[in-house]
Structures are given as C-alpha cells and as structure tokens.
C-alpha cells in the first residue's frame, strides 16, 4: 500500500521544516537500496525516474518492479517522473505508474514555460498526479557520460515565481538559486535571500535539483527557507561505481561478485541524507496524513453489434483498445469476448487513480467510443468502477 499522494507528502515536509529525498534510481540495486534506507530511517521517500536515463533502462520494464517494491515498503513512497521532455513523457510516466511528474520546459521563454507547464498540470491533475514546474534554469551534467545541459544558470526571479505558480497550478516549484546538476568542483554558492523571497511569494513546497555536493550546512539553510524536496542522483551513482571498483580484481569473473555491495553503498548514502534532511522518523505521521495512492479498475460489458463477423469484432476491439489506452491516466486496457459463446465483449480498463475515473468518463475519446457502440445497437451495457483489494 504505501504509495501515497505526493502533494500530501511534500506538504507535510514543507509545514514541518524537513525535506524528502527524491533519489534517482536506475536499476533494482538502487530501488532496493533507497527503500531499505528509508525503512531503516522510518523516512518518507521519493523514487525518481529521470527521462535522460531511459536510454540505459526500459521504463516499462523497470516500473513494475519499482511499483511492487514501493507497495511492499513499510514507509510512504511516491514515484516521480523527473525532467520529462514533453507532455507525452508525463502521460507515459503516469501510465507506467508515476504519481508525480516534472516536465522540464525551464529553458524556454517564460511564456512558453508557463503555457506548457500549465498543460502538463491540467492533464496530470485530472489524473490525481502531483506536478512540479521549474522556473529559472539549473545547469550541469545531465548524466554521468558527460552530457551537459543546454544552457547556463538562470536564477529564479521571486517577482515571476508567484504568477508562475498561480497560472500553472503546480504543486511544487523547482528553483534555481545556485545549485547545479552533477558533481561540480568546489561547493556551489547559494543565494539564500533569493530563496527566502521566492518562498514567501509562493508558499508551496520548493524543490532543489542538484543535491550532490551540497554541504550539510547548505542543506539545513535550504530547508529552513522552504525546500521540501531535494533531488539526488550523482552521489548515488558514484558510491555504486566505487563499490564495483573495489570489487574488481584481475581474474574476477562473476558479475554478482563485482556488483556485490552496490545496494549497501546506496543504502548507507541515502540513510546519511535522510538523517541530514530531517525526514528520518517521519514515516508514521506522513502515512497518517497522506491520501493513499491506488488504482481503479473500470469494467465494461457490451453486447456485440448484431451481425458483426468474428474478424470485424476483433478489429473493432483492437481499434478501440488503442484509442482508450491513449487517454491520460489509463494504465492498461484488456478486451475480450465471452467464452460461453454469448455475443458479449468485455473491457478491463486500469485507471491510475480515482480521479481518472471521473476524467476518463468525460474524455472525448471515451465519449466517442461509447456513442459508436450505442450507434451500433450495443446499448445494453454494464460499466462500473472497482477498487480491488490486495
Ligand atoms: P544530482 O545528480 O546533482 O544529485 O542532481 C540530481 C537531480 O537534480 C535530478 O533531477
């Protein structure tokens, strides 16, 4: 169960002056290491799936494991798409199981950033999914292969932040106040007075990207000025790589022997972050105050149109399946026909959350689907939403 509403989770952190770690995960060692650390510390935690890493792992293959691990965890967990490149990325992330999305349009002119972030927020909120927007620009290394982000640092302007938050409807704001992605040489200089003004202007949880390399004192000051989410990846990647390097010796042949210790190294580093950022020991309060995140199964039974051949029925089912599956918040569509020979078709539509149950029914494609069936004389239908237990 403990996948929880991410907006509720970060509101708690914001109002109780601590930050939740949003840890980038790239494989099972990362997922398990981060969750074990969260459980050991009794801390809420966010698992970040960063789109620039999707060339390394297959999101749709990793996510079932991420989701199962999060559901099994004894602490509150949220799962977030990080640095998505488009609204389509956000739809994909939600379909895969994310309950928070960040689409990064921060390098675009303000008007464009605002318009696109608003579009993402409208779509995601209709799915019950929390949204982070970024104003200003946090530069640095996008991944460890030395791929640089496209621009230099652009500070967030407090004067723009309030309107940005109001007009986009984002739940959290990622700010640019001097941090950078990746490991920089030296310690970044942070603009706390800018941060304080942004915090006063917007009054919602702030997110900091580029957590790697921040000193303990810097983290404390960030949190004291409204930062409730710290994104952290490069340092985890480094401790994982160091664990592997320490295992490598001439003649060493076993992958498992070489990778041994990666999960533990990640766990140790995440525990350090959790203690420093103040989220240790908060799991029970957070769990009590967060709406649980759960799916809804929408089930439809239709009489098949009179006189339709088996082949035409199959074509109709697969065409409609594709259409319904593309609706934001739909996670999976299964269709089939009755095994007892009755001319009935069945649709099992997995929706990301109860909010989707409402937005799905009003979606133009779903309305078109329902009306096309009734035009074909298939009005005799059953449609119902179910919450399934464990
Ligand atoms: P670091 O890699 O610097 O920790 O930053 C990660 C990040 O901000 C992902 O959004």
Which is catalytic among the residues 8, 29, 82, 104? 82
pLDDT of amino acid 107: 93
Q: Does residue 82's CB lie within 6 angstroms of at least one atom of ligand 1?
A: yes
pLDDT of amino acid 142: 57
pLDDT of amino acid 192: 97
Spatial CB neighbours of 294, under 8 Å, sequence gap ≥ 6: 1, 3, 353, 354, 387
- Tell which phi-psi region holds residue 297, choosing left (phi > 0), alpha (psi between -120 and 50) or beta: beta
Q: Strands 206-208 and 330-337, how do they pair? A: unpaired
Distance from Cα 211 to the centre of ligand 1, integer Å: 6
The DSSP output letter for 79 is E
Spatial CB neighbours of 91, under 8 Å, sequence gap ≥ 6: 123, 328
Distance from Cα 90 to the centre of ligand 1, integer Å: 19
Ligand 1 atom with minimal separation from the 182 CA? 3
Q: Are 167 and 147 in contact (CB under 8 A)?
A: no
Which of 253, 376, 256 is closest to 320 using CA atoms?
A: 376
- Burial letters for 320-334: b for 16+ Cβ neighbours within 10 Å, e otherwise? bbebbbebbbbbebe
Give the DSSP H or E segment for 133.
strand 130-135
d(CA 115, CA 164): 10
Give the DSSP H or E segment for 288.
helix 283-289
d(CA 365, CA 359): 11
DSSP track, 197-265: HHHHHH-S-EEES--TT--HHHHHHHHHTTEEEEEE-HHHHHHHHHHHHHH--TT---HHHHHTTHHHH
Dihedral angle, C-alpha 362, 368, 369, 373, nearest 10 °: 120
Distance from Cα 279 to the centre of ligand 1, integer Å: 18
Which of 102, 109, 61, 57 is closest to 82 using CA atoms?
A: 102
The DSSP output letter for 327 is S
Ligand 1 atom with minimal separation from the 24 CA? 9
Q: Does residue 84's CB lie within 6 angstroms of at least one atom of ligand 1?
A: no
pLDDT of amino acid 59: 98
Q: Does residue 209's CB lie within 6 angstroms of at least one atom of ligand 1?
A: yes
Prediction pTM value: 0.94
What are the beta bridge partners of residue 381?
302
Per-residue pLDDT of the chain (390 residues; tens, 9 = 90+): 589 999 999 999 999 999 999 999 999 999 999 999 999 999 999 999 999 999 999 999 999 999 999 999 999 999 999 999 999 999 999 999 999 999 999 999 999 999 999 999 999 999 999 999 999 989 886 555 555 566 788 899 999 999 999 999 999 999 999 998 988 777 789 999 999 999 999 999 999 999 999 999 999 999 999 999 999 999 999 999 999 999 998 887 799 999 999 999 999 999 999 999 999 999 999 999 999 999 999 998 888 777 778 888 788 788 888 999 999 999 999 998 889 888 888 899 999 999 999 889 889 988 888 777 766 666 567 889 998 876
Distance from Cα 91 to the centre of ligand 1, integer Å: 22
pLDDT of amino acid 302: 83
The DSSP output letter for 292 is B
Which of 94, 97, 129, 102 is closest to 31 using CA atoms?
A: 97
122 a catalytic residue: no
What the block records as the tokens of 278 is 């103040």
Ligand 1, atom 8, residue with closest C-alpha: 209
Q: Does residue 76's CB lie within 6 angstroms of at least one atom of ligand 1?
A: no
Q: Are 164 and 134 in contact (CB under 8 A)?
A: no
């Amino acid at each position: 169960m403990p996948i929880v509403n991410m907006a509720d989770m970060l509101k708690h952190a914001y109002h109780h002056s601590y930050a939740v770690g949003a840890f980038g995960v790239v494989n099972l060692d990362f997922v398990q290491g981060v969750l074990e650390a969260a459980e050991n510390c009794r801390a809420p935690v966010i698992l970040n799936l960063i789109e620039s890493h999707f060339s390394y792992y297959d999101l749709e293959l990793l996510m079932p494991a991420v989701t199962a691990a999060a559901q099994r965890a004894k602490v509150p967990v949220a799962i977030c798409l990080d640095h998505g490149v488009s609204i389509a990325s956000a739809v994909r992330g939600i379909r895969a199981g994310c309950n928070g999305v960040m689409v990064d349009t921060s390098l675009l002119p303000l008007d464009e950033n605002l318009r696109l972030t608003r579009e993402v927020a409208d779509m995601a909120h209709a799915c019950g999914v929390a949204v982070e927007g970024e104003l200003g620009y946090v530069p640095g290394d996008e991944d460890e292969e030395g791929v640089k982000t496209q621009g230099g640092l652009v500070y967030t302007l407090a004067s723009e932040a309030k309107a940005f938050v109001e007009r986009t409807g984002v739940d959290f704001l990622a700010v640019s106040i001097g941090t950078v992605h990746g490991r920089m040489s030296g310690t970044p200089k942070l603009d706390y007075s800018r941060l304080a003004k942004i915090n006063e202007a917007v009054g919602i949880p702030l997110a900091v990207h580029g957590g790697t390399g921040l000193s303990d004192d810097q983290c404390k000051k960030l949190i004291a000025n409204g930062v409730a989410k710290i994104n952290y990846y490069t340092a985890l990647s480094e401790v994982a790589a160091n664990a592997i390097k320490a295992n490598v010796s001439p003649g060493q042949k076993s992958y498992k022997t070489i990778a041994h210790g990666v999960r533990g190294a990640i766990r140790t580093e995440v525990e350090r972050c959790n203690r420093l950022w103040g989220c240790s020991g908060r799991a029970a309060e957070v769990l009590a105050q967060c709406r649980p995140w759960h799916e809804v199964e929408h089930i439809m039974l239709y009489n098949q149109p009179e006189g339709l051949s088996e082949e035409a029925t199959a074509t109709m089912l697969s065409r409609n399946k594709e259409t319904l599956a593309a609706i934001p918040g739909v996670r999976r569509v299964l269709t089939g026909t009755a095994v007892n020979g009755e001319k009935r078709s069945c649709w099992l539509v997995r929706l990301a959350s109860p909010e989707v149950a409402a937005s799905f029914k009003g979606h133009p494609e779903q309305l078109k689907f329902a009306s096309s069936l009734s035009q074909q004389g298939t009005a005799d239908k059953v449609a119902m939403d179910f919450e399934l237990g464990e």
